[in-house]
A and B are shown apart, each in its own frame.
Chain A
Amino acid sequence: GQNIDQPTEMTATEGAIVQINCTYQTSGFNGLFWYQQHAGEAPTFLSYNVLDGLEEKGRFSSFLSRSKGYSYLLLKELQMKDSASYLCAVRDLTPDNNDMRFGAGTRLTVKP
């Protein structure tokens, strides 16, 4: 089975940096994903880590430590439009299970 834990809510100021943490336990591992979901919309893919280390994509970076079962999403130069839920998801890799499971999401509010 899987446990995926992330904070429920966070608040940050426009222009600042925010780090959203995620811890997970899984029987098999085939990648950790971050998605952004605005209210009333479907999730959209942000980033993907399968090896340890930092992946950078513009204002967004994601870090993975497989030994610690830990990831974070770093958002820089926050903008008001970054107010959304951020979902941490882990992909299993077991013989009969290759699907993706999601954490409960972190609702980020960016304030002026």
Chain B
Amino acid sequence: SAVISQKPSRDICQRGTSLTIQCQVDSQVTMMFWYRQQPGQSLTLIATANQGSEATYESGFVIDKFPISRPNLTFSTLTVSNMSPEDSSIYLCSVDDREGSYTFGSGTRLTVV
């Protein structure tokens, strides 16, 4: 399975600021996925990031709020912009491993104050 390095692992941010989360994969992958997991809830897909094209966002998520970069086949970033306390959550990146399941990064626990 792929190994994903995600950072930061956690952060406390002020309302109105932005945070960029990075994921580095140890192998080349076509698609990377960004999920949000709010306290006590399951994972919600934010967007799918393909290299060389714009990310595809799910209903309820927009590019202005969650811009994504995918400069190459091993790296992606998700920015949480103009944060509010409602954005406090765990953010996870994942990739499709060769066995068909997903491998996840270790997650970024974001608290907005």
Interface residues of A (CB under 8 A from B): 30-31, 33, 40-45, 48, 50, 87, 89, 91, 98-105
Contact = CB atoms under 8 A, between A and B. Distances in A.
A30 B53 CA distance: 24
Contacts of A101: 45
A97 B31 CA distance: 12
B101 A48 contact: yes
Contacts of A42: 92, 104-107
Given A45-B101, A91-B100, A103 B106 contact: no
Interface residues of B, number: 20
Nearest to A104: B42
Nearest to A91: B100
Give the secondary structure class of B's interface: strand
Given A99-B48, A100-B33, A43 B99 contact: no
Interface of B: 1, 31, 33, 41-45, 48, 92, 99-107, 109
Contact of A48 (B1, B99, B105): B99
A20 B37 CA distance: 21
A87 B101 contact: no
Contacts of A33: 101-102
A104 to B, nearest CB: 5
Contacts of A89: 102
B110 to A, nearest CB: 14
B58 to A, nearest CB: 9
Contact of B100 (A31, A41, A99, A104): A31
